[in-house]
Structure 1
Amino acid sequence: MDPTRITGLYSDLCALAVPVRAHVKEQKLNGQTLYDVNTEWTQTELVRGSRLSLCQRWILLIEENQKIQSALPPGPAVPQNAECLSSFSPVQGLRAVIKETSGHQLLEVWDERGLRKCLNLTALSKHGRVYDDTHFGCLSWSRCENKLLYIAEKKIDSPNASGNVKDRSVYREDWGEALSNKSVPVLSCVDLRTGCLTVLEAPADVSPGQAVWSLDGESIFFVGWYHEPYRLGLKFCSNRRSALFQIDLAGHYERLSEENVSVLSPRLSPDGSALVFLQGKVFGPHAQCLKMQMLDIKSNKISTLIDIVHRAQNGEDTGGFAGVYESLPSCCWSEDSQRIVFSSAHKNWKDIFVVDRRTQNISCLSDNMSAGLRVFGSWKLLTIHRDLLVVCCSSPNTPPTLRVGFLPPDGHIVSWKLSGLDFGAILVKPSTQGKTKLPLVVFIHGGPHSQFPAEWNITTAGLVQLGLAVLMVNYRGSTGFGQDSILSLIGHIGQQDVRDVQRAVQFALQTDPTLDPERLAVFGGSHGGFLSCHLIGQFPDVYRACAVRNPVVNAATLLGTSDIIDWRYSSVGLDFSYEQIPTAEALATMLQRSPITHAPKMKCALLLMLGAKDRRVSPHQGLELYRTLKSRGKTVRLLWFPEDGHSLSRVDTQTDCFLNTVLWLQEHL
C-alpha cells in the first residue's frame, strides 16, 4: 500500500462520471417517435484538481406500445466549460446557459442552429452574482418560452459612489456554511424578446428561491425563507421557517402555505392545474420526514397527498414506504398530471416511488423485491418526460449507471403494516480474500439525520479495493426509517446512536467469521466524527485506529460558533428560540453528551482532518481534542486545510484525506 498506488486507485475511482441531471425531448421522424435524452454528468480530475461537467446525448427509438426499440450510441461526451446553470425550454428544447467569462456572467440561449441570444448580466448591473446553488438557485423557462427566471444577489451600491462611507463595515448576514456569499437573494426575470431584465420585489422579510412560472407566465411561485430576526445555516437543514408565495410581474404577492412551517421543491403539473411541494416542521431535527402537499390552482386550496410517516411500513413487495426525505426532481409529474414520481431514502436503500393524486396510493417503482432480490441498491430519479423515466442506479459494488423506462399505467398498489423502530447497516467486503481475516472499518454518516444508502461510495469502494471491509451504519435517527426513528434520537445523542453503532459492529463480528475483531477502526465526519470519538472513548479496548473529519467534540464550546445554534439545543432535548441565552444547566447537558468527556480513556491512534473555514463545526473543536490527547501522550495527528469548509470538498483536500486515512489505517491496523 504505497502512496502512489493509493493515489492511483483514488484517481481511477474519481474518473468515473456520475449523472446528475437529464432532459428529454420528443420528436417525430418518418412515422417514428424519437426521444432525445440529454444528460449532464460530473467527473473529478485530480491532475488539475477540478470537477468537470460534461454532456452526453442518446436517441431512443420508441414503439407505439411505449417499448424502447433501440438506443443510438451516444458518441463522445462534450465538456461544459464555465457553466453555472443550464436549463432546457419545455417545448422547443432551447438551452439557456448562465456562464462565467472574463469576470462577467452571461446569459446565453442556444437552439439547433447556434447561439440565439446573449445578455451580459454583469454589464446590465441590475443585481449581483447569480445563485447557482441547490438551495435558492433556479433557471426556469416560462411555458411560452419568452421569459427566463433566476435568483441573484441583490445589488448594493458602492459606499464611495453614494457617499455613505460609514456603512462600509456594517456586518452583512449570510446563510451559513457553504452559502457565505448568499445574503439577500432577489427574483430576476429576463424578457427574451426585448432583452429587458426586471428585478421583482419579494416580501422584505423573506429570501426568495426555487422559483417556477405559472402556466400562463403571468406569475411566479417561489419559496421564501424568513430571515428575521437573523439567519440560521441553511445547508442540510430543511427545517428553516419558510413559506410558499405567489408573485405577479407587477410585484404583488401572496403567501399560499400556512404559517410557521418549512417548505421546499414547488413543482407545477404539466396542465397547470396543481402544484406540489414538500412541507416540514420548524426547528428540531434539521432533516426529517416531510409532507407532500398539493395546491389546487383554481380553488387555491391545499391538501395533503403524503403525510408524515411515523413508522417505517412493511409491504409485501417493497419492503415498506418510510416517507419523503429528499427534494423533488425538477420534473416529477406524469404526462396526465395525475401522478408524482420521486426518490426517497428507504431504510438502507434509496428508491423511486409514485403517488396518485386521486387516490393517494403509493407504489414503488424500483427493483422487484418480492424474492428479496435487488439488482441495484439505490435508484434516483433524474427526470420524467411524457412518462419516460431517466434514472441513476448504483450499488456499493457498482458505479452509477443510467437507465430509462416508461412509467407503468397504474403501478402496483401496496398495502402496509406498521413495524417497530429498527435500524440497519451495510457490510461491503473485498470479492476475494485469503486465509487472513479482514480488518474492519466502521464508517459512520454525519447529519445525524441523513443516510448511507446501498449506493456507490468512492471512499468505501477505495477502502474495499485496498483489502479492508467497510461497515456503514444507519443508526436510529437516520432518514428512511420513519419520523419516530428520527425523533427518537432527540435528547439521546452520544448515547442511543453510540449503542446502535456498537451493536451493529458486534453483530457483524459475531455473524461473519471473515472479519478480524482485533483489527477494528472507525471513521466519520461531523456527527459521524462525534460518534467515532465517542466510540473510541466509551469502548477504548475495541478500536485500534480512528480517522475523523471536522468532528463535534464539545457541544458546549461549539454553541457560540456554529451557524446552526438551534440544533445544539434540539440535539440534547432542549427547546430553542431566537432570543435564547445559554444557561449553566444547558451547557452542562451539552458537555455531558460530548466525547471530550471520554478523552482520558481514549487509547487508539487518532487522525483529525479539519477545515479552517468550517462554519458548521468550528475547527477549534478538533483542536480542543488534539491538545487534550497530546498533553496525555496519545498518538494523534492533525491535518489542517486552510481553504476548506465543513464538507472538506475541494478536490485536492479529498485526495489528501483519502491518502492519509488509508496510510493511517495501514500503520495502525
Structure 2
Amino acid sequence: MEEAHNITGVYAEVCGLPTPVSAHVSEEQLPDSRIYTVTAEWSQSDLVRCSRHRYSQQWTLIADSNNHKSIRTVLPPGLCVPVSGELLSSLSPIQNLKAVIRETGGHHILEIWDCHGLRKCLNLTALHKHGKVYEDAQFGCLTWSDCANKLLYVAEKNKNSSVEDRESGIRKDSSVYCEDWGEALTNRSVPVICMVDLRSGMVEVLQGVPRDISPGQALWAPGSQSVFFIGWYHEPFRLGLKFCSNRRSALFKLDLNNGHCECLSGDNLSVSCPRLSPDGSTLIYLQGGVFGPHNQCLSLQQVDLMSGKTSTLLDVINRPQAGEFAGLYEALPACCWSTDSHGVVFSSARRNWKDLFMVDRGSKKVTSLSDNLADPSQVYGSWKLLTIQRDLMVVSCSSPNTPPTLRVAFLPSAGEAVTWRTLLQPVMTFDFHWTILDVTPSLEEDNTSYSGLDFGAVLVKPSHPVCESRVPLIVFIHGGPHSQFPAEWNSTTAGLAKLGFAVLMVNYRGSTGFGQDSILSLIGHIGNQDVKDVQKAVLTALQRDPTLDPKRLAVIGGSHGGFLSCHLLGQYPDFYRACAARNPVINAATLLGTSDIVDWRYTSAGFQYSYDQIPTAEVLAAMLEKSPITHAAQIKAPVLLMLGGKDRRVSPHQGLELYKVLKSRGSPVRLLWFPEDGHSLSRVDTQFDCFLNTVLWLQQHL
C-alpha cells in the first residue's frame, strides 16, 4: 500500500504538468512602441476529477521603438483563466472578435465575443440544419471570412432529411448500418461544410460537394466567395483516418455563387493541411501516397492561385544527409506563414529530435531555427511550433528532463540569428541524465533493398540511483510503427526515471525522422527487422553504459510497440524479465477482419492492397508467421496486458488471445480491461491505472 501511494504521488507530479496546445498573437501600435500580446492555451490533467482542464494565459511583449522585431520587455503573465466547455474557438482577422462553439445540455452553441462581452449567440442544434459539430483535428475547423461576417465549420450531416421525419422522430432507415471513419472518429460518418452569416443569423449547409467525398479542413478563398477544403474519398467504403496520412483525398475549391466544385490536386494522392498565404496569392498543402505506409514522409505543394499552377516546395527526403533536414512528417499548424508570404515555418522530426524549420519559397532552402548550438547547457530535444503570426514565432520546447517551456522569437532577417526569449519556464525540472544513441545494424541484419540505414534511441537515467547497484532498464517501444520517440518530455518516461528506472526509447528502422527509405524498409519485415533493431539498441546501450543492469531488463509498449514487446519475449526468452503491453497486435491473421485499417494489415506483411481484396491462405500464413503468437510457447517472462474495450484499431481480442495461451501454459499473466477506452487508452483515469499497475508489475518482477 505504501509503495502504491509513492507511485501515485510520482505520477501525479509528472502527469499534472501542463502542456501548451495552441497560441495566438495580436499586435497594437502605440506612439513610441509596438505591443504584442501572446495568448497560449494549455492542457492539464487532474487526477482528482479524472479529467483534463484547459486554460489560457496572456503575455505582453513590448518591442523596441526603432526595431519592432526586437523585444525590449516581457511583462509578467496574467493569471490562468479556465476555458470550460469549448469545442472550438477562433479569433477574427479584424474587429478583435472571438468565435466559440461549446456544448451545453446536449446543444451546440455558437458564441461571438468582443471587448464589451457576448455579442451574439446562436443555438446551432435548434436550427436543425445538421448534426453534431466536428471538433477533431482531422475534419474540424472554425474559420472567419476576411470581413469577419461569416464563419465556416464542419458538422455531421442531418440524418432526418425531411420535416416530417424530424417532427415524428421516426426514421425508416434507423437500423441501416452507417459507416464511420474508424478509431477515435466513430461518430464521424458524413461530414458537411456549414456557413453561418453572423449578420442574419442564418446557417447554411454548402451544396456542390461531390457525393463520393467527405469534406473537412475548410478555409475561405480570397474574397470569401469561394471555399477551399480537403475531401476524403469514401467509396467503396471508409478506412480508419486517425494516424493515417495515406488515405486517398484531394484539395477542392467550391464556388459559393454557382456551386461549382473544382479539384485542384492530382489523382490517387493523399493531401491535408491547406494553408493560405497572408497576401492571398498562394495555397500550400501536404501531399503523400495512398495505401503503403500509414504514415510517411510528405511533400509540401504550393498552388499559385493566379495561374492555377501547382509546384513542389519541399520534396520527399528518401535518405537525409547527416545533420541535414530529414523530411516533413507531421501536420502544419494553422498559422505557418511569414508575414511577407515568402517563408513557411514548421516542426518536424529529425532523427531522434524534433526541430523547427523554415523553407524559403524562392530558394527552396530549408533552415533550422532552433538554438541548441547557441547554448549547449540548455539543449531542448523537441521544438514544436504553436503559431507564427506577425513574424512572431511561439514554440513549445521540451526534453526528457524538462517539461514544456514556452518560448518566442521573431523570424530573423536574412543572415541574422534568431533571438529566443523564454516566456514561461516549467514549474519544475528534473535532474535526469539523457543521451542520444546512434545504432548501426550488423551486416547480417542490413536490409539489402535499403542498405546502409541506421537508427537511434534516447536513453534516460535517474541521476541518483536508489542504491549503489546497477540500474534496471526499461525498454520503451513506440507504436505506429511509423512514428517516433523524439527527445521530448514524456510523463511515462519521467515517472519511471523518478522511481529509479533507466528508460531506453527506441526509434527502430521504420520510425519517422530518418527518411522515406527507412520507413519503406520495414514493409514486409515486421516481426523481424524491427525486433532485431530493438534488441540491437538494448545491447548497444548495455555495452556503452556499465551502470545499466543486464540482469534486470523489462520491455513496455503499445500497439505496434506491444507487438514488438511480445515478440522480444518470445524470440529472446531468457533476456527479459517482465513485460507490460497496451493493446498489442498478437495475431495479424485474426486481426485482419476486425481492424479499421485493413489495408495496413496487408501492407505491413508485404502485400499490395486493394478494396476488393479477399484473404488467401498465402496471405494469412504470412501474417501468422510474422506475429508474436507464433513465439508464445517460448515466453517465460511475466506479462501484463492492458486492453481498451472500444479499440477499433487493434481489437482487444488480440490481447485476450495471448492471455489465454499464457494462462493455459501456466505462465504469469495479468490483464487489465478498460471497457470505455479505445486504442490510445487516453482517459485520465485509464492512464493513471496503467502507470500504477505497470510500475508495480515491474517492481515485483525486477
Could you tell me the TM-score, scaled by structure 2's length? Answer: 0.92
User: Per-residue CA shift, 1:96-127, capped at 9, x if unaligned?
Assistant: 10001122111111111111111110111100
Match in the other structure for 1:537:
570
1:111-126 equivalences in 2 (<5 Å): 111-126=114-129
Match of 2:675 among 632, 642, 645: 642
> 1:424 aligned to 2:456?
yes
1:449-528 equivalences in 2 (<5 Å): 449-528=482-561
Match in the other structure for 2:250:
243
1:367–1:373 Cα contact (<8 Å) kept: no
Instruction: Report the Cα offset of residue 203 of structure 1.
Output: 1.0
2:372–2:380 Cα contact (<8 Å) kept: no
Q: Distance in 1 between matches of 2:582 and 2:48?
A: 24
Match in the other structure for 2:422:
none
Question: Over the residues paired in the alignment, what is the CA RMSD in angstroms?
Answer: 1.6
Instruction: Report the Cα offset of residue 239 of structure 1.
Output: 0.2
2:350–2:513 Cα contact (<8 Å) kept: yes
Write the letter of the residue equivalent to 1:12.
E
1:189–1:198 Cα contact (<8 Å) kept: yes
Match in the other structure for 1:294:
302
Secondary structure, aligned partner of 1:22: strand
Gaps of 5+ in 1: none
Q: Distance in 2 between matches of 1:92 and 1:78?
A: 22
> 1:353 aligned to 2:357?
yes
Match in the other structure for 2:432:
none
Write the letter of the residue equivalent to 1:145.
A
Match in the other structure for 2:367:
363
Match in the other structure for 2:382:
378
Write the letter of the residue equivalent to 2:194.
S
Match of 1:340 among 315, 334, 344: 344
Match in the other structure for 2:106:
103
User: Per-residue CA shift, 1:248-267, capped at 9, x if unaligned?
Assistant: 22422100000000000000
Q: Distance in 2 between matches of 1:161 and 1:195?
A: 23
Match in the other structure for 2:474:
441
Instruction: Report the Cα offset of residue 164 of structure 1.
Output: 7.1
User: Per-residue CA shift, 1:402-447, capped at 9, x if unaligned?
Assistant: 000011112689xxxx994221000000011242110000000000
Secondary structure, aligned partner of 2:295: coil
CA spacing shift, 1:492–1:322, aligned 2, 3 Å: same
Match of 2:316 among 308, 314, 329: 308
> 1:396 aligned to 2:411?
no
Q: Distance in 2 between matches of 1:8 and 1:583?
A: 52
Write the letter of the residue equivalent to 1:2.
E
Q: Distance in 1 between matches of 2:363 and 2:261?
A: 32
Match of 2:158 among 155, 159, 165: 155
1:311–1:420 Cα contact (<8 Å) kept: no
Instruction: Report the Cα offset of residue 166 of structure 1.
Output: 3.9
User: Per-residue CA shift, 1:216-237, capped at 9, x if unaligned?
Assistant: 1111111000000000000000
Instruction: Report the Cα offset of residue 30 of structure 1.
Output: 3.6
Instruction: Report the Cα offset of residue 91 of structure 1.
Output: 2.6
Secondary structure, aligned partner of 2:407: strand
Instruction: Report the Cα offset of residue 5 of structure 1.
Output: 1.3
Match in the other structure for 1:387:
391
Match of 1:221 among 223, 228, 233: 228
1:226–1:241 Cα contact (<8 Å) kept: yes
Match in the other structure for 1:283:
291
Gaps of 5+ in 2: 418-449
Q: Distance in 1 between matches of 2:340 and 2:592?
A: 50
Structure 1, 645-654 or 2-11: larger mean CA deviation: 2-11
Write the letter of the residue equivalent to 2:626.
R
Q: Distance in 1 between matches of 2:374 and 2:56?
A: 36
Alignment coverage as a number of residue pairs:
661
Percent identity, aligned pairs only, is: 67
Instruction: Report the Cα offset of residue 31 of structure 1.
Output: 2.3
Write the letter of the residue equivalent to 1:345.
A
Match of 1:232 among 231, 235, 239: 239
User: Per-residue CA shift, 1:423-472, capped at 9, x if unaligned?
Assistant: 10000000112421100000000000000000000000000000000000
1:475–1:500 Cα contact (<8 Å) kept: yes
2:160–2:171 Cα contact (<8 Å) kept: no
Match in the other structure for 2:425:
none
User: Per-residue CA shift, 1:264-292, capped at 9, x if unaligned?
Assistant: 00000000000000000000100000000
Match in the other structure for 1:24:
25
> 1:10 aligned to 2:14?
no
Could you tell me the TM-score, scaled by structure 1's length? Answer: 0.97
User: Per-residue CA shift, 1:592-623, capped at 9, x if unaligned?
Assistant: 00000000000001000000100000000000
1:311–1:419 Cα contact (<8 Å) kept: no
Instruction: Report the Cα offset of residue 370 of structure 1.
Output: 8.1
Q: Which runs of 4+ in 1 moved over 3 A?
A: 158-166, 368-374
Write the letter of the residue equivalent to 1:574.
F
Match in the other structure for 1:178:
184
